Structure formats: structure tokens, C-alpha cells
């Protein structure tokens, strides 16, 4: 089998660039709260085998929802994800509420309980969804446009290495 060191390196560079651009997109679009999603993004590396090429990029599970959005029961987005009959768990918003410093008051000036705020946010998301950010999709599209040239060049380098190896092997006999 042809050595694919250059192709593997090119695909790894592609994955690294996608992650770098995705992280910048999250920052630019002001979608970093705890940094968990940002810090979870990893390039698990390219794997080139006889019949396939694979590049794995991992991130926190909820990253897909941030990227593609989620349709609510009232507001719809062009996304495969939607709320239908079950709203997100209110507890999931506790840390976010604290980080954002959300502390609304009643008409009499008393602070609302955190449980009330959590429920209100979960209910709003259930009805109006989560607007897509395309932080990852846009990065993949941008970098994918450059990929055919990169792959072609790396395959030429890998083929040249194979030819050089064959030539050296035949002269050393």
C-alpha cells in the first residue's frame, strides 16, 4: 500500500484549522459562557486506510445543537433538531444563570428564585428554540474549499516518495 504520510498530515492540518476557526467563530458570535464547548473541541486525527479516509473531530455533545440550532414549538429553524413535547431540564441553566449574572426582581423589588429563572429560560427555549450559530458548519465549508488542492498536492508528494523508494531499492540491489 502507498505510504500516505503527506495526505495524513494534510488532513490533520485541515482538522486543526477547522477547530481553530470554529473556536474563533464561537468567540466572535459571543457564544462562550463556561468555555466547556470551546475547550472540548479536539482533532482526533486522520486515518487513511485502503478504502477510506476518516477524520474525527470531537466536541461536547451539545455542540451540534449550538451549531445547527433547535426549533422550538413556536419558532422554527432549518435544523434537524426540534423540541416537540418535552422542554429542556431547567436545572441545566443554573450555572449559565450564575455566569451571566442574571438576577431579575419582582415588581416589589424582591429577587426571583433561581428555580423560577431556570424554568422561565427552559420554557422560553422550548417555545422559541435555539438559533443556529453555524460556528462549526461555516468553518468546515470555508476550509473544505481549499481541501481538493491540498489533497492533490499531498498525494503527489506521497506518490513521489513511493517512486523515490522504488528507484533507491532497485539501485541498491
Three-state SS for 67-107 is: HHCEECCCCCCCCCCECCCCCCCHHHHHHHHHHHCCCCECC
What angle is formed at CA 79 by the lines to CA 77 and CA 83, rounded to 5 degrees? 75
Identify the pLDDT of residue 164: 67
Q: For residue 12, which of 52, 51, 42, 49 has the smallest C-alpha distance?
A: 42
Identify the pLDDT of residue 144: 85
31, three cell numbers: 457564544
Q: For residue 15, which of 58, 50, 67, 51 has the smallest C-alpha distance?
A: 58
Q: Find how far residue 70's CA is from the centre of its chain.
A: 15
Q: What is the mean pLDDT of the chain?
A: 88
Higher confidence at residue 37 or residue 9?
37
Cβ atoms within 10 Å of 36's Cβ, excluding its own: 13
- Reported as a single tens digit per residue, the pLDDT across 73-122 is 999 999 999 999 999 999 999 998 988 888 888 889 888 899 999 999 99
Q: Hey, where are the domains in the chain? A: 1-69+132-173, 70-131
pTM over 0.85: no
Higher confidence at residue 14 or residue 128?
128
Of 11-15, 103-107, 164-168, least confident by mean pLDDT is 164-168
Which residues are registered as beta bridge partners of 47? Answer: 54
Read off the pLDDT of each residue in 142-162 and give the average, rounded to a whole number: 75
Identify the pLDDT of residue 157: 72
Q: What share of the chain is helix, strand, coil (3-state, %, to 5)?
A: 55, 10, 35
Read off the pLDDT of each residue in 64-69 and give the average, rounded to a whole number: 96
The span from the CA of 141 to the CA of 149, in Å, is 15
90, three cell numbers: 431547567
The span from the CA of 4 to the CA of 50, in Å, is 10
Read off the pLDDT of each residue in 4-26 and give the average, rounded to a whole number: 90
Cβ atoms within 10 Å of 77's Cβ, excluding its own: 16
- Reported as a single tens digit per residue, the pLDDT across 28-62 is 999 998 899 999 999 998 887 777 778 899 999 99
Amino acid at each position: 500500500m502507498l505510504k500516505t504520510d503527506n495526505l495524513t498530515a494534510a488532513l490533520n492540518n485541515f482538522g486543526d484549522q477547522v477547530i481553530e476557526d470554529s473556536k474563533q467563530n464561537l468567540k466572535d458570535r459571543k457564544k462562550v459562557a463556561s468555555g466547556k464547548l470551546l475547550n472540548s473541541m479536539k482533532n482526533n486525527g486522520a486515518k487513511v486506510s485502503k478504502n477510506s479516509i476518516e477524520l474525527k473531530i470531537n466536541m461536547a455533545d451539545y455542540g451540534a445543537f449550538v451549531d445547527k440550532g433547535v426549533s422550538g414549538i413556536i419558532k422554527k429553524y432549518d435544523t434537524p433538531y426540534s423540541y416537540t413535547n418535552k422542554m429542556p431540564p431547567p436545572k441545566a441553566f443554573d450555572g449559565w444563570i450564575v455566569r451571566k449574572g442574571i438576577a431579575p426582581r419582582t415588581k416589589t423589588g424582591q429577587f426571583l428564585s433561581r428555580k423560577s429563572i431556570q424554568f422561565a429560560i427552559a420554557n422560553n427555549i422550548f417555545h422559541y428554540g435555539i438559533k443556529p450559530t453555524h460556528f462549526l458548519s461555516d468553518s468546515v465549508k470555508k476550509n473544505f474549499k481549499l481541501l481538493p488542492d491540498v489533497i492533490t498536492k499531498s498525494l503527489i508528494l506521497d506518490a513521489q516518495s513511493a517512486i523515490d523508494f522504488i528507484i533507491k531499492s532497485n539501485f541498491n540491489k
